[in-house]
């Protein structure tokens, strides 16, 4: 489990400046990255396909994917009943991408962030939910300019 304060410290300085954030719960369960990239992603991709939401369009864009991934991860945490933590350490990140998933152009983009790992060694993994929707490798490695451009994170 990670507390509000610990989560805040983990994301406070992802780039060269302090990141604005909204952290809504007092405690968060910390998922294993293997679970998020394995069982959860397979389940989520199947849900997105059933709901007909895998395709990016102007009215189903990056923030829709990021919010859906975030919400479904929170509901999966609730349904698992494996932890009494109020939330799951999966958030939404807004930044300036060098190349966005939907068309390769640069500009504002929304993705997800998973905080995993042990108490003294947290791992921050950026996720492209548009890739996860097709059950492709969703892990992103943001460049230093992209990290510096993060303007908001929501947990």
Q: Which residue has the higher pLDDT, 121 or 65?
A: 65
Q: What is the pLDDT of residue 23?
A: 96
CA angle (76 as vertex; 45, 19 as ends), nearest 5: 85
For the whole model, what pTM was predicted? 0.92
**pLDDT tens by residue, 20-42:** 999 999 999 999 999 999 999 99
- Out of 21-25, 82-86, 91-95, least confident range: 82-86
CATH fold, domain 2-154, is: Beta Polymerase; domain 2 (3.30.460)
Q: Domain ranges in the chain?
A: 2-154
Pairing mode of beta strands 20-22, 152-154: parallel
Q: What is the pLDDT of residue 108?
A: 93
């Amino acid at each position: 489990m990670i507390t509000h304060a610990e989560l805040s410290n983990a994301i406070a300085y992802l780039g060269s400046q302090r990141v604005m954030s909204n952290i809504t719960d007092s405690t968060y369960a910390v998922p294993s990255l293997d679970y998020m990239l394995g069982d959860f992603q397979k389940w989520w991709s199947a849900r997105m396909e059933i709901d007909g939401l895998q395709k990016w369009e102007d009215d189903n864009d990056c923030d829709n994917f990021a919010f859906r991934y975030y919400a479904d991860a929170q509901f999966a945490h609730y349904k698992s009943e494996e932890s009494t933590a109020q939330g799951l350490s999966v958030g939404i990140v807004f930044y300036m991408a060098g190349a966005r998933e939907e068309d390769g152009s640069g500009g504002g983009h929304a993705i997800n962030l998973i905080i995993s790992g042990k108490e003294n060694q947290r791992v921050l993994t950026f996720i492209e939910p548009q890739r996860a929707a097709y059950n492709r490798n969703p892990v992103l490695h943001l460049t230093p300019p992209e990290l510096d451009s993060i303007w908001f994170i929501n947990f």
